[in-house]
Amino acid sequence: MKKTHTIFFLLAAVAATLFSSPEFFIAKIFIDKIEKEYGVFAKRRAFALVQMMNEARDLDDMGKMEKVNDFFNQTPYSPDKVTWGVSDYWATRLEFIGRDKADCEDYVIAKYFTLKELGVPTSKLYMTYAKSLRYKTAHMVLTYYETPKSVPLVMDNYNYKILPASVRDDLVPIYSFKGDELFNAKQAQIGKMVPAAARQTRPWDELIITQKKD
């Protein structure tokens, strides 16, 4: 009986190895850059990001969204004027982790690229501009559509729970766009869709600072 149990657990371990996704890691060049520019605590936050992604990599879409939403919502909110000294600045994910401060666009960008790396289809993810009735201000959230006709789920830094848009009566949606469209559009400098920071030469590759290994 014990031998049978041992064989079973060995087979289960082999199966888990064969069917699990590759692990994430951060290249040394980014680790060194983070520590040099932002300090040792930022480096620890980067390692925490990788740990979270490895914990989430084999979950379903909802599980991945919950992990990612919870992780980035731990970062304190701070307006761009305080963090960057300008009125509108869209931070890369490396900058988000480094400064450990963010405004609504930064949360959305960090969550979007992390979910993209985790394999959530970008066709289901939209960056959505909205008006916050509670705070009487413009706001941005990340929305997820299970199907094109589904009521979207909202990932937000105001309300930490992932809820259907139909129950978020504190938000009035204005318009949505896909994340990949934003970074393609920046090349053409298309109107208000593209923030001032994106119209400049930005290190957008730093949005994808993690890599996979078998």
Domains of the chain: 24-207 (3.10.620.30)
The pLDDT score that the predictor gives to residue 182 is 60
3-class DSSP state of 173: strand
Nearest to 210 by CA among 79, 42, 25, 35: 25
3-class DSSP state for residue 131? strand
The pTM assigned to this predicted structure is 0.80
In angstroms, the CA 131 to CA 174 distance is 7
Predicted local distance difference test score (pLDDT) of residue 92:
84
Q: Average pLDDT for consecutive 10-residue bins of the chain (214 residues)? A: 46 46 84 91 93 95 98 96 90 89 93 93 93 93 94 96 96 85 46 40 47 59
Q: What is the pLDDT of residue 177?
A: 84
- Residue 210: which of 40, 1, 29, 16 has the closest Cα? 29
What confidence score (pLDDT) does residue 204 get?
42
The pLDDT value recorded for residue 201 is 44
**What Å distances lie between residue 131 and 2, 55, 58, 84, 162, CA to CA?**
62, 34, 34, 23, 18
What the block records as the tokens of 112 is 């979007």
Rounded Cα gap, residues 50 and 111, in angstroms: 13
Query: Across the chain, what does the average pLDDT equal?
Result: 81
* Alpha-helix residue ranges (DSSP H) falling in the chain: 2-19, 28-38, 40-56, 61-72, 80-83, 93-99, 104-117, 179-188
Give the pLDDT confidence score for residue 195 in this predicted structure. Answer: 44
Cβ neighbours, 10 Å, residue 147? 7
